[in-house]
Amino acid sequence: MLRYILTRLLGAIPTLAVIVLLAFLLTRLAPGGPFDEEQALPPEIRANLERAYGLDQPLHVQFGRYAAGLLRGDFGPSFKFKDFSVTELIATGLPVSLQLGALAMLLAVLLGVPAGVAAALSHNRAADHLVMALAVLGIAVPVFVVAPLAALVFGIYLQWVPVAGWSPGNARDMVLPTVTLALPVIAYVARLMRGSMLETLRSPFVRAARARGVPRTRLVWRHALPAALTPVVSYLGPATAAVLTGSLVVETIFGLPGLGRYLVQGALNRDYTLVMGMVIVYATFMILLNLLVDVAYAFLDPRVRPGGRR
Amino acid sequence: MSGARGLWRDALRRLRRNRAAVASLLLLALLVLLAVAGPSASRYPPDELDWAMMGVPPDPASGHWLGTDRLGRDLFVRTLHGARLSLAIALLATLVSLTIGVTWGAVAGYAGGRLDALMMRFVDVLYALPSIFFVIILTVVFDRSPALLFFAIGAIGWLTMARVVRGQAMSLMHRDFIEAAVAAGAGPARVIFRHLVPNLLGTVVVYATLMIPQMILIESFLSFLGIGIQEPLASLGNLVADGAAEMETAPWILLAPAGCLVTIVFCFNFIGDGLRDALDPRER
């Protein structure tokens, strides 16, 4: 098992390298530079600026410097937030985004799994249809529509929770962002869970357990659930991607000072180093979480483990 | 060929029995018609500011059927313009995805062996990349034109299509008619595009229908964040963003484009599901 985790970790390194290289090359494709302002800068100032940021060097030297910096945890200076380095911006944004994303994923599993099981147990009855209708709604309506609507209804009309803002430690600030971010994932998890639960309940080992007289609750939660969870676990990889992209919208709408908002601001300001840094951080997260999911999957299902069952 | 025609005729019959799909098809047709012809039915142009009518609520009497936005632009016309641009970008992006994905998948499935392994490994690697973030980088680097947008979105959507097509192509390669075509002297290109691809059409149509709403959502997502379609052009995404900024005092500015977007996405999803059931009855 340890060996499997190590090989997977080593395997993630080339993917990360490709991402860094791709991000770097894409930003250097730009026809304009980061110092293209409304008013053209005098050439000597421009040259000085480019020298200060190392942009006068050949491409491979620039990349070497950037990559070496990354290894030291230095993402370079932000072109537009002039008083901050990208590393500092990441350090301020990361805790907020981490908290938001982790809470949303947790909520998605805690609500999605029971909802799916409940739907499967009342197959083709009212509760099933209700859960599935809600799930279709949750999947089809994008976060950037749900978020403002939720802010309108719960923040402005009902005044239950603050519309926007962020103060560390205030749980009420997190309610709307977390729930809106989690909604599509809850919906998807519920739908997956229902399908695989229905299938598992029909499988021979569950029928055998039922024939042995195992009580229904125990049958569902102890016998069927672990087997039925595998598709949900393998969906957690794509779910991470959904939560990461969704967090761009949620952080922007609710004014959370997280990575997503910096990425969007960086994109609007054409702040290359900031965008590159944020993309690399997001990509690293996605790869690491996918790895985690694969490892969890190998724990749950011995068939995908190299070498099989011990 | 009569067998193939029979398949499509059967599928059409099954599709017609699916009420959700038929209703969605009709609603979508109506929306598309409105998006194409509707703006000229209103007496307001999409980008004219009306200083006397800023942020008025929906009112049939004034001719502003869905109200106006903060700058006095007619929302009915702007929403339809937005729907038209969003749909156009999604269709073109899907076409780009389809072309790359079908070609890639069919070639891999046809070739098999080492080339197939190599091509699919490439797809696996791209799958691991957070593609949407690379689209964001592209929008930062290049001018945010609609053309770049559909090409960039299309270029990231083809991976699933390639996988699906490759799987189907591999199973088709064992069939007699392919062997017959090869025996009759058909070259690789002819086998792929005249024999394999036409027989994959059912799957491709289903996936394409399900891909269009995804593309609409990606485009609107970027436009919502301000890095997609730019003012004064309207897309459903930047209209929703405008509305979200004004929702406390003028919720209709949000509700008109949001309702339109959700309706379109729902319609495509129902049609796609209906088509899948119709073309692949085994699933039921």
Residue B130 and residue A249: Cβ atoms within 8 Å? no
Q: Mean pLDDT over residues A49-70, rounded?
A: 79
- Distance between A213 CA and the closest CA of chain B, angstroms: 32
Report the alpha-carbon distance of residue A199 to residue B169 in Å, rounded.
28
Report the alpha-carbon distance of residue B51 to residue A41 in Å, rounded.
38
Please give the structure tokens belonging to residue B84. Answer: 């038209």
Give the residue on B whose Cα is nearest the Cα of A290. B128
Checking if the pLDDT of A166 tops 70, the result is no
Checking if the pLDDT of B2 tops 70, the result is no
Q: Is A289 on the interface with B (CB under 8 A)?
A: no
One-letter identity of residue B222: L
Residue B7, domain member (yes or no) = yes
Checking if the pLDDT of A81 tops 90, the result is no
Report the alpha-carbon distance of residue A271 to residue A69 in Å, rounded.
18
State the best of A145, A244, A278, A290 to mutate against chain B, taking most chain B CBs within 10 Å.
Answer: A145
pLDDT digits (tens, 9 = 90+) for A114-165: 999 999 999 888 889 999 889 988 888 889 999 888 888 887 788 777 776 6
- Positive or negative CA dihedral for A284, A287, A290, A295? negative
- Distance between A214 CA and the closest CA of chain B, angstroms: 31
Residue B92, domain member (yes or no) = yes
Residue B266, domain member (yes or no) = yes
- CA distances from residue A161 to A84, A158, A172, A174, A179 in whole angstroms, order as listed: 32, 8, 6, 9, 12
**Banded model confidence at residue A12, pLDDT cuts 50, 70, 90:** confident
Query: Which of B133, B240, B266 is the closest to A144 by Cβ?
Result: B240
Please give the structure tokens belonging to residue A284. Answer: 């690293």
Query: Which of B125, B133, B237 is the closest to A15 by Cβ?
Result: B125
Residue B225 and residue A145: Cβ atoms within 8 Å? no
Residue B50, domain member (yes or no) = no
- Interface confidence (ipTM) of the complex: 0.80
Task: Identify the pLDDT of residue B179.
Answer: 86
Average pLDDT in chain B: 84
Structural domains in chain B (count): 1
pLDDT digits (tens, 9 = 90+) for B59-90: 777 777 777 777 778 888 888 889 999 999 99
Q: Which residues of A touch B266 (CB under 8 A)?
A: 140
Query: Which of A19, A142, A252 is the closest to B217 by Cβ?
Result: A142
Report helix angle A272-300 to A86-121, nearest 10: 40
Report the alpha-carbon distance of residue B91 to residue B213 in Å, rounded.
9
pLDDT digits (tens, 9 = 90+) for B20-36: 889 999 999 999 988 88
pLDDT digits (tens, 9 = 90+) for B33-59: 888 887 776 767 777 777 777 777 777
Report the alpha-carbon distance of residue B212 to residue B270 in Å, rounded.
12
Checking if the pLDDT of B171 tops 50, the result is yes
Checking if the pLDDT of A300 tops 80, the result is no
pLDDT digits (tens, 9 = 90+) for B200-229: 888 888 888 889 998 999 999 999 988 888
Report the alpha-carbon distance of residue A125 to residue A310 in Å, rounded.
43
Residue B272, domain member (yes or no) = yes
Residue B75, domain member (yes or no) = yes
Give the residue on B whose Cα is nearest the Cα of A245. B132
Residue B46, domain member (yes or no) = no
Task: Identify the pLDDT of residue B284.
Answer: 39
Residue B132 and residue A276: Cβ atoms within 8 Å? no
Task: Identify the pLDDT of residue A306.
Answer: 59
| Residue range of the domain that includes B260 | 2-39+71-279
Q: Mean pLDDT over residues B171-190, rounded?
A: 87
What's the CATH code of the domain at B234? 1.10.3720.10
Checking if the pLDDT of B4 tops 60, the result is no
**Banded model confidence at residue B1, pLDDT cuts 50, 70, 90:** very low
Residue B55, domain member (yes or no) = no
